[in-house]
Amino acid sequence: MKRVLCGSLALPLFLSTACSTTGGGTPPDDSSSNVNPSAGGAGQHTGSSGNKAGTTGFTFTGSGGTASQTTSTAIADIDSGCAAQTTPAELTQVNIIVLLDKSGSMGDQADSATASGYDWQNCTSRWNPVADALKAFFADANSGRLYASLSFLPADGDEYAMCTVKNYSNSSALKVPLTLLDDAGRAKFTAKLCDCSGTTAEAAGCIVPSGGTPTLAAVQGTIAYAATISAKYPDSKTVIVFLTDGEPGFGFTPSGQTVQQHLYSCDDLPTKGSTWPNGSNCVNDSTVCTTPDAEVQKVSLVIQNAPAGSIYVAGVGTDLSSETLDTWATASGNDPIDLLKMSGAEAGAALIARLESIRKSSIKCVFPMPTSTTGDPIAPDKTNVSYQPGTGKAAYLFRTADGTVSSCGSATNSWYFDNPKVPTSITLCPNTCDALQSDPNGKIQLVFGCDVVVNIL
């Protein structure tokens, strides 16, 4: 098979197709390199966007024609009639469910007993760096293909409300239900994350730290919400990012009393309206309250029973022990996002880096090889991948020199087969996938019938 010698393409802003070739043929001009969805004919196919939450996924239409029978040495021209079939190729839809601890210890809070001084002065070291990191991630152009939701613990209301699982699982209870991170969507997120220092004028309804840490109910509800999203969009990938600064626990003042009790578990709340301690599940003649270690283990078990690798646990500040963070992270199957004992600036930078890593690892640029319109396998040497950036002309990407991942190198314009002889899928090389992810309006299609275009670097 003859090969095309070509430099790498710059994605996603523009594509350059200036190549020198071995053998006959010339690269198409601008008009012929542009994918022409109206150039139909026999064998035309229209791509389906699949079961997606929005319309920014890749969508494609086919171009009719007759399959080429010879090996070309130039970039195949989709308008030349060789393309017998085109097929939709979509990046995985990724849903990031953010559960953020907004308990009082995340910010500055006056001493509740004396009304002078502070119980906590953590705004600049915990809440603001985390909020700023989330804002930056949501606003990043690379996140333009993502869907995200944002909820807080504790949920609004009294101790009974914040211990109610459905207040974390119902979309109506979330501050921001699942939303595409386009311009309109990201504004919804940033509007909910206040600067807790009080030095900046914030929009009405934004969130500042307050309340306790009913971790178990919040995690249970968030996992349930993630399950509904996964069921609604089965072809997507849904992950949870849970960020907290403390061990489970909250203060509770029984009805009609002024002395506050400290509980570690929502399971230990008395029946609502009952007299303390007779209505409690823990303070009576036969049982004792849940211990801190026992509650940590309850949370760990819930995390462990979630879909494997779907939860990322982040810890910030100095109140959450490294043992608890490691226990929950081990249960999740992912490395902890360890921001413990970091300065505010360090925590913010580390969080952004991990969120970016989660984004990249979640979006897979893998596309299955379909069968032809006759039901026969598609010939590997008649397979091409075309990419059209959101603001430019379409052009072909290049198959790696040997058709495998081993020859991807640093190319930003290449793809490979899982098995070059009998392929079942096409995968974009890592740098190509990274570049494509940053172009929310980019489109890609698999083109069958034209001779494969191979890149030798």
pLDDT of residue 441 exceeding 50, the answer is yes
Nearest CA-CA partner of 166 in 221, 212, 213: 221
Residue 229: what are its φ and ψ, rounded to 5°? -65, -45
pLDDT of residue 218 exceeding 90, the answer is yes
Task: Name which of 12-26, 298-312, 362-376 the model is least confident about.
Answer: 12-26
pLDDT in tens, 268-299: 888 887 776 667 767 655 567 899 999 999 99
pLDDT at residue 371 in the model: 75
- Contact partners, residue 60, CB within 8 Å, separation at least 6: 37, 46, 47, 86, 87, 88, 89, 443, 444, 445
Q: What is the mean pLDDT of residues 302-306?
A: 98
Q: Exposed, middle or buried: residue 192 (CB in 10 Å: 0-12, 13-18, 19+)?
A: buried
pTM of the model: 0.76
Nearest CA-CA partner of 51 in 308, 171, 231, 227: 231
Q: Across 220-234, 246-260, 370-384, which has the greatest mean pLDDT?
A: 220-234
**With bands split at pLDDT 50, 70 and 90, how would you rate the model's confidence at 60?**
very low
pLDDT at residue 171 in the model: 92
**With bands split at pLDDT 50, 70 and 90, how would you rate the model's confidence at 322?**
very high
**With bands split at pLDDT 50, 70 and 90, how would you rate the model's confidence at 83?**
low
Three-class SS state of 327: helix
* Burial per residue of 312-340, b for 16 or more beta-carbon CB atoms within 10 angstroms, e otherwise: bbbbbbebbeeebbebbbebbebebbbbb
Domains, the chain, ranges and CATH? 1-91+365-457 (no CATH), 94-362 (3.40.50.410)
- State the Cα–Cα distance between residues 151 and 93, nearest whole angstrom: 20
- State the Cα–Cα distance between residues 77 and 60, nearest whole angstrom: 17
pLDDT at residue 254 in the model: 81
**With bands split at pLDDT 50, 70 and 90, how would you rate the model's confidence at 88?**
low
